[in-house]
Structure 1
Amino acid sequence: MIKYILKKNNVEGSHSFGKWYAFPVKESTVDIDKLAEHMAAHNTPYSAGAIKGIITDMVSCIKELLLEGRSVKLPDLAIFSIGIKNTRGGAVKEEEFTVAANIDGLKLRARATGSLQMKDLETSLRRATVVEAKKKQPVTSPKE
């Protein structure tokens, strides 16, 4: 079940100003240990420890390939690639461009592949009434 909250677009001048949109509620984050335990519980002959080792090696290899300038595609999930964080403003002339002055760092990009399909959206999505924010006041979605 995917929970969602509604948010109103308050960006003046936007073509969607004043309209309401659904956003998914992220319940929690699962780390490699929990992912391995979850996978091991799916009738596999591999232990959570073996699966964790494979996932850990996969992460390391994906990073290595990305830093070699390659993209990595995991079908029905995402294509991972490297992006560059440029500084604001950029160089006025090509000759003035330097890595130190014009690049802030790298970022990981993930472009979705495949699709998440549910047979019946009405029963697979549910509006959240209250969402607990970490170390903040509870966020409530507006009344319909």
Structure 2
Amino acid sequence: MIDINVIQKVNPQSPEDPRKYYGTSKSSGTADIRKLANRISKETTLGTPDVMAVIEAMLQDIPEFLLEGKIVKLGDFGTFRLTVSGEGAETQEEYSTNLIRKANLHFRGGKVFQDVLASAEFRKVS
């Protein structure tokens, strides 16, 4: 169940329009790497230290693959990829990588996430 807070917001494209109320998801705490490793350990034959080692290796290897220009596909878990944002140039010849402001990390959830989100239920909270 996803808890929803209702808040009033301005339309940034029309700030003079009347404000409307929108739902925002409410977090109920965090789950850190250790909690994740403990849960995975209970669901598999691996001990918590083994799971932690795999997660740590992924945290090291995924960014390296991304910097090599790879899209990292983790099956039904999802896909990581890099994009860049910056300024444009009038012509291809005038373009320089100095116009790039930053690199962005994008994650697209795979089938497991899509299925869970498709069946999510919501509850309005105060």
TM-score (norm 2): 0.75
Give % identity. 27
**1:75 is paired with a residue of what secondary structure?**
coil
Q: Which residue of 1 aligns with 2:33?
A: 32
**2:56 is paired with a residue of what secondary structure?**
helix
Considering Cα pairs closer than 8 Å and 6+ residues apart, tell me whether 1 or 2 has the greater RCO.
2
Q: Select the residue among 98, 103, 107 that pairs with 1:106.
A: 103
Q: Select the residue among 89, 95, 98 that pairs with 1:97.
A: 95
Q: Which residue of 1 aligns with 2:74?
A: 74
Counterpart contact for 1:71–1:80, Cα < 8 Å: yes
Q: Which residue of 2 aligns with 1:134?
A: none
User: CA–CA distance in 2 between the matches of 1:92 and 1:31?
Assistant: 46
Task: List alignment gaps of at least 5 residues for structure 1.
Answer: 130-144
**1:5 is paired with a residue of what secondary structure?**
strand
Q: Give 1:127 shift.
A: 2.0
Query: Which has the larger share of helix?
Result: 2
Aligned positions of 1:1-144 closer than 5 A: 1-11=1-11, 13=14, 18-42=19-43, 44-87=44-87, 90-100=88-98, 102-114=99-111, 115=114, 116=116, 117-118=118-119, 121=121, 125-129=122-126
Q: Give 1:53 shift.
A: 0.3
User: CA–CA distance in 2 between the matches of 1:25 and 1:73?
Assistant: 29
Q: Give 1:33 shift.
A: 2.1
Superposition RMSD on alpha carbons, in Å? 2.6
Cα–Cα, structure 1 residues 65 and 45, in superposed 2: closer, same or farther, change >3 Å?
Answer: same
